[in-house]
Structure 1
Amino acid sequence: MAKEKLVAIKEADLKNNCPECFNQDLKLTFFQKHTYGTFFHKTTNEVSNQIVCRKCSSMIYPVKWTDDIERMFDYYQKTATPEPKSSKPTFIFYLLLLVLIALVAAGVYFYLGGTIEF
Structure 2
Amino acid sequence: MAKEKLVVIKEATMNNNCPECFNQDLKLTFFQKHTYGSLFHKTTGELSHKLVCNTCHTTIYPVSWTEDIERMFSYYQKTAVPADKSSRPTFLFYILMLVSTAVVAGVVYLVMARTY
Whether these two folds match at TM > 0.5 is yes
TM class, shorter-length:
over 0.9
Distance in structure 1 (CA, Å) of the matches to 2:46 and 2:108: 45
How high is the sequence identity, in percent, across the aligned residues?
68
* TM-score normalised according to structure 1 size: 0.93
Partner of 2:73: 73
Gaps in structure 1 of 5+ consecutive residues: none
Distance in structure 1 (CA, Å) of the matches to 2:23 and 2:76: 20
Give every structure 1 segment of 4 or more consecutive aligned residues whose post-TM-superposition deviation is greater than 3 Å: none
Partner of 1:105: 105
CA offset at residue 110 of structure 1?
1.6
Deviations 1:64-112 (A, max 9, x none): 1011111100000000011111111111000000000111111112222
> In angstroms, what is the RMSD of aligned CA positions?
1.0
Partner of 2:28: 28
Letter in 1 for 2:81: T
Gaps in structure 2 of 5+ consecutive residues: none
* TM-score normalised according to structure 2 size: 0.95
Distance in structure 1 (CA, Å) of the matches to 2:113 and 2:79: 64
Partner of 1:43: 43
